Amino acid sequence: MIKLIASDMDGTLLNDKMQVSDENAAAIRQAGESGIEFVVATGRGLSEAKPLLADQKLTPAFITLNGAMVYDEQGNLAVSIPIDDDMTSYSMRLLDERDLYYELVTNHGIFSNSRVRRIQNVADLLVNLNPDTNYKLAVALASARLEIMNINYVDDYTDVVSNPELHVMKIIAFNTADPTALTEPKQLLLKTAKLMVTSSSRNNIEINNIQAQKGIALAKYAKQKGYGMESVMAIGDNFNDESMIRDAKYSVAMGNAVQPIKDLAWFETATNTNHGVALAILKALEVNRGK
């Protein structure tokens, strides 16, 4: 029996307009009525993710920042796994030396040192995840979305990392012009054995504490509910979903997923622009009916 469904957001639950479709929302409600809990597992922070679900009046639990911060259905913080201070300093120095744009995601919001580059990178992500979206429309969508308004813009990251009340939970670095420029820093960061480095797009790398992974967080969440990963469905499309796709018994790759995720998955659903999450939920209901 499937008792919990965890879904990624970008390229998975969200369509090409960065919205939860009516079809996906209806299926999530149907799952709830059938006794299956739905939880979001995203690389986004809560301030970025929650409004997009609220548009459909959905209030699930959230595994955010790739597992670094987990919130229950009431919005209470249940898990917090920041990057160690020395690893934050090392990561920033390594990225600065290579002139790579990056953002700091903290326990009190996201910090960027360039609004223009922030909008550009959100637009690039939209086009990368949804190739049918033209760049001009992507920029308009990126500028209008709530996550742009929830960014804290600073001239220098020094004040962020020196503030004792702020803890860096994730660092996300971008290079749209030459994604291969991210390969070397990724390898160096992984060599520390203290960091997990994944991607939600070919144009970025996401840096977390080694213990902050979607699969680890999802297994802990399921255990708190009284069951194991044999009762869990996980849905995703990219490399930061790998741990939960690997660990869940009922793993689902989106039709638009990268090939390694498809290779790991138990089932392949439709694309994010064709309500793939809704179809995966219907598959879960079939499993529970014994079909």
Where along the chain do its domains lie?
4-81+212-288, 85-209
pLDDT, average across residues 31-35: 97
Q: Is 0.85 topped by the overall pTM?
A: yes
Task: Quote the CA–CA distance of 96 and 39 in Å, as a whole number.
Answer: 35
Does the pLDDT value for residue 32 go beyond 80?
yes
Task: Quote the CA–CA distance of 126 and 137 in Å, as a whole number.
Answer: 10
Phi, psi (deg, nearest 5) at residue 51 = -60, -30
pLDDT, average across residues 131-153: 71
Look at residues 19, 53, 48 and name the one whose alpha carbon lies nearest to residue 38. 53
Per-residue pLDDT of 101-141, as tens digits, reads: 999 999 998 999 988 788 777 777 777 767 777 777 777 77
Look at residues 287, 202, 210, 217 and name the one whose alpha carbon lies nearest to residue 247. 217
Q: Residue 27's pLDDT is what?
A: 98
Q: What percent of the chain is predicted at pLDDT more than 90?
A: 79
Task: Quote the CA–CA distance of 261 and 34 in Å, as a whole number.
Answer: 28
Q: Residue 133's pLDDT is what?
A: 76
156 carries an active-site annotation: no
Does the pLDDT value for residue 284 go beyond 90?
yes
Q: Which residues contact 47 (CB under 8 A, 6 or more apart)?
A: 109, 110, 147, 150
Q: Which residues contact 221 (CB under 8 A, 6 or more apart)?
A: 4, 39, 61, 63, 70, 78
Per-residue pLDDT of 62-85, as tens digits, reads: 999 999 999 999 999 999 999 999
Total residue count of the chain as it appears in this document: 291
| Backbone CA torsion sign across 70, 76, 40, 103 | negative
Q: Which residues contact 187 (CB under 8 A, 6 or more apart)?
A: none
57 SS3 class: coil
Residue 166 DSSP symbol: -
Residue 84 DSSP symbol: P
Residue 117 is which amino acid? R
CATH architecture of 4-81+212-288: 3-Layer(aba) Sandwich (3.40)
Q: Where are the beta strands (DSSP E) in the chain?
A: 4-7, 37-41, 61-64, 69-71, 77-80, 101-106, 109-112, 151-153, 168-174, 195-198, 204-209, 232-236, 250-253, 267-268
CATH class of 85-209: alpha beta
Q: Token pair 């996300």 is at which residue?
A: 172
Per-residue pLDDT of 182-201, as tens digits, reads: 999 999 999 999 999 999 88
Consecutive H or E run containing 122: helix 115-129
Does the pLDDT value for residue 148 go beyond 70?
no
Does the pLDDT value for residue 35 go beyond 60?
yes
Q: Residue 139's pLDDT is what?
A: 74
Rg of the Cα atoms in the chain = 18
Cβ atoms of residues 277 and 27 within 8 Å: yes
- Catalytic residue, from 8, 10, 237, 247: name it: 8
